[in-house]
Structures are given as structure tokens and as C-alpha cells.
Amino acid sequence: MREWIKRALAKADREAWVRFFVAIGGLSVSFAAAIYSTVFRQEGNFAATAVSASFALISGVLLGMITVPHLARRVTLSRFRERFHYDFTPEGMAYIVIVLVIGIAALNNGNNLLFIVVSAMLGAFVVSGIASAGMLRNLELDAALPNHIFAKRPLQARLVLNNLRWWAPAFSVNVGPNRKPRRAKKKWQRGIFSWPPWKPKEQRWLHLNDWVWKPAPLAPLQPGIFEGAVYFPYIARGKPSSADVELTFARRGAYVQEALGLATRFPFSFLSKTRPVNFSRQIVVYPSVEETDEFFQVLPMITGEFEAFVRGRGNNLYLIRDHTSEDSARHLDWKATAKTGTLKVREFTREDERKLRIVFDNVAPGMVSEIEYEEAIALTASLAWHFAQSDAQLSFAAPGYAGSSDVYDFLAYLALVQPAEQKSVLEGLEVSDDYNVIVTARPRGTIPTNFWASSYLIFMQQQNATPAPALR
């Protein structure tokens, strides 16, 4: 008991309590002065009456100005500030109709029993509202989402609803998006006055510039994270309850959840009551890295070119072997070929580092269609994800990309990038020992020739969709 009292005193706001007791003492003095003013008035002492009454009034006002605002700032008025959204259910509408019918019958007949029935039914309606509001109070919502989220790939999220009430459980609570009605603000906008109105606009005689008072267009909503509802049938008192939710995001990009709502129909389902809860989350959904037909078409050619490039970069001779169709002509050993009469190829030792650079050359708006652009984004992401699992040392380049060589940083860039008017990344790209996989929409003739010997080009447009290795 003593430890509990010590903890309570430690948590107490001493300044607020001091002001509270000062206010009580001051109000007691003001009350005493008011009583004395009444006594002095009965005795006929008007001067003392005026002084005591003025003292009581002025002291009370001063105490209120000094203490009440300070105490009000420390009082939690969450129950009074909470807003609830109400939606009538079919059961509630039927119940109201029955109450009206019985109420009209009671007024017509003057039967006291009908009045009692109507009162009981209205009381049940009020009790239902109070009980449903009590179910939604003192509930905290939290969510656990994976750190890395890919488009078109199902993931498991967890919603946790914590009941802070130690005295009562919660029943029948739904968690879902808080769909507030959006109302467009009206303002004066430019329009055209045409006459006569009964004719089509093209056939009207008169057309004049005009100002129209009409709602402004609403900004498009950003896609939310949680769109469905999750049902919690029972939440024990003072304990959390969790539910797993499967989410799938169809497109890449940023998803924002500004608020969620706790809804219930408990206990009689007359109303669906919703309490908005603060739940601000923003996630970035990476592009899909699923292996598509285009990916399977491109990957073998890139792998072959990359392996040939790595194998030919060494300085130390490893062996001389027979020429195959996959070997480049620049590795032919003419002396060995002349001696044996068959084509021979020199193979060098492979260097320790297998460096690969994936380059995304962004395009200007309208240069390619939206479908082609998204396919290029998905192919770039799939290649980055595939080679990140291998032993190659990856690096990335793209307009405006300042991230590291971490594949997740590059995927986050691809998740948010959009067509933009900007300088091509190839113009400022430094030539290095890396083998380049370039995804671009630029014509072949505009690609810098210094990349051709160590690059593989992938074109965005469908007319050039067939990937071709760089010229050697």
C-alpha cells in the first residue's frame, strides 16, 4: 500500500494540485465574503455590503482567470473530444418505424401502457448508443508490416488492437478504413454561358464567357494500405488481440493510410458506430520482380554476354581450347589455329570481382506508352533482384538516383520514378570496368559508342522490344 501511494505521489502534478487547493481556499473566502455581504445588507450597512460583495465578485473572477485555464490544460477531455460517425442499419430503421407507429397509436388512444412501451424502446435505443460508444473507447490500434514489400506478391500484415480498460472487455469491433465523405468546396470558376439551354451545346446561338459558382474538382485520393475490414469478436480487458491480414498491392508506388476506423454494432445493431483513430502510415511498394516471359527471353543473353565479358577481362592466359559458337572472334589465337588447322580460342583467368552495373535511362513524358514504361520498370527490377542473388558486385545508375549499391535502395527508386524531362543518364555516366545492362528508349544511333563494347541494350518501345547485344 505504501509503495502504491509513493508511486501515485511521484506521478502527481504538484503544481496543479497546489493551484487546485489555492482555488478552493480562495473560493471559500469569496463565499464567506458573499455571506457577509448578505448579513450587512440585512443590518442596513450598505457600505460594508458593497465592499464585501465587490470583494467576493472580484476574487472569484481572478481565481477563475488564474487557476481554471491552467487546470483545463492538464485535464484529458478525450471522451468529450472523440467524434463518432453514425450509420443506420436496416435493423435500426425497422426499429425506428416500429417506435413511431406505437408512439402515434399511444397519442391517438391515450393508453398509458403504450407510452411505457415507447419509453422502454427509446431507452433501449439510448442504452445501445452508450454501450457501443463504451466498446470503442480506450482501444489502441497498431500494425506490423514487412520492411520490404513487392507488387503482386502477397504478404502477411498483423493488426493489433489493445484494450486499455482493465474493468471491461470489448465485443464485436471491426477495423477498417475511415471513409469520410469528401465535400468539394465551391468557388468561382470560369465557364461559358450559352443559350438557348434546350438545344445541344454545339447548336446554341449564343456563347459568352462567364463565371460559375460550382464545386472545385477534388484531388485524386492516394491508394490506401488497408481496404478491407478485420473483425475482432472479443478483446479481453487489459490485453491485446491480434489478427493476420493478407495484403496484395497491384502496382508499385507510395501507399498512404491517414486514418482507420473502429466500428461496432454492439449490442442491438441499431446503429453502426465508427470512431476514427490516428493511424498514419506510408509505405513504398517495390515493382514486381516476378519472372515474366520477357525476363526469360532476356536473361540468357545477358548472362552469356556478361560471362564472356568477364572471362575475357583477365591478363593471364589460362588455356587454349577449341572455338565454339558462343565465343567472340576477338579471343581467337591465330598461331594455335594455324598450327592445328582448327579454330582455337585463348581463355584468360577470371578476375576476382564480377562487376555489373544496371542502368535505367528514364524517358520524357509521352515518349513511350504507360504499358511499355511499366514493363521496362518491372524488367529492370527483376534483373536487379536476380543478379543481387548471385556473386556479382552490383551497382546502379539512373537519373536522380543517389542511392547506394544496395538493391533495396534501387528498387525504392524504381517504385517512385515517373517519366520526366531531364538529361539522359548515359551522357554523364563514367566508363568503368563494369559490364552495363542499359534499359533505354533512346534510338540506337544516340547511344554513346564507348558503352557498346561492354554493354547490353534493352529498348523500351515495343517496335524495338527485341533486346540486342551491343555491337562489337
Per the structure block, which three cell numbers stand in for 60? Answer: 472569484
The domains of the chain are located at 2-75, 79-182+221-286, 186-215, 293-304+352-469, 314-349
pLDDT value at residue 117:
87
9-35 per-residue burial string, b: 16 or more CB within 10 A, e: under 16: eeeeeeeeeebeeebeebbeebeebbe
Sort 337 into a burial class: Cβ within 10 Å, 0-12 / 13-18 / 19+. Answer: middle
Amino acid at 191: G
Rounded to the nearest 10 degrees, how much is the dihedral formed by the CA atoms of 436, 442, 444, 449? Answer: -50
Contacts of 441-446 with C-beta under 8 Å, sequence gap 24+, read 441/361, 441/363, 441/367, 441/368, 441/376, 442/361
- pLDDT for 150 equals 94
The predicted structure's pLDDT at residue 1: 57
SS3 per-residue string spanning the chain = CHHHHHHHHHHCCHHHHHHHHHHHHHHHHHHHHHHHHHHHHHHCCHHHHHHHHHHHHHHHHHHHHHHHHHHHCCCCCHHHHCCCEEEECHHHHHHHHHHHHHHHHHHHHCCHHHHHHHHHHHHHHHHHHHHHHHHHCCEEEEEECCCCEECCCCEEEEEEEEECCCCCCEEEEEEEECCCCCCCCEEEEEEEEEECCCCCHHHCCEEEEEEEEEECCCCCCCCCCCCCCEEEEEECCCCEEEEEEEECCCCCEEEEEEEEEEEECCCCCCEEEEEEEEEEEEEEEECCCCCCHHHHHHHHHHHHHHHHHHHCCCCCEEEEEECCCCCCHHHECHHHHHHHCCCEEEEECCCCCCEEEEEECCCCCCCCCHHHHHHHHHHHHHHHHHHHCCCCEEEEECCCCCCCCCHHHHHHHHHHCCCCCCCCCCCCCCCCCCEEEEEECCCHHHCCHHHHHHEEEEECCHHHCCCEECCC
- Stated pTM of the model: 0.65
For residues 57 and 29, what is the distance between their CA atoms, to the nearest angstrom?
11
79-182+221-286 placed in CATH 2.60.40.10: yes
What is the predicted pLDDT for the residue at 471?
32
Phi, psi dihedral angles at 321 (to 5 degrees): -135, 175
- In a structure prediction context, what are the per-residue pLDDT tens digits for the chain, which is 472 residues long? 566 666 665 655 666 677 777 778 877 888 888 788 888 878 778 788 878 877 877 877 777 666 766 665 555 444 444 577 778 888 888 888 888 888 888 877 778 888 888 888 888 888 888 888 888 888 888 888 888 999 999 999 999 999 988 888 989 898 988 766 556 566 767 777 777 777 787 778 777 777 777 666 655 556 778 888 889 999 998 889 999 989 999 899 999 887 888 889 888 888 888 888 888 888 999 999 988 888 888 887 777 676 666 655 544 555 677 877 767 666 777 777 777 878 877 765 454 457 888 889 888 888 888 888 998 999 999 999 988 887 778 889 888 888 788 899 999 999 999 988 888 887 777 777 788 888 888 776 667 666 666 778 788 875 444 444 433 2
Q: What is the pLDDT of residue 199?
A: 78
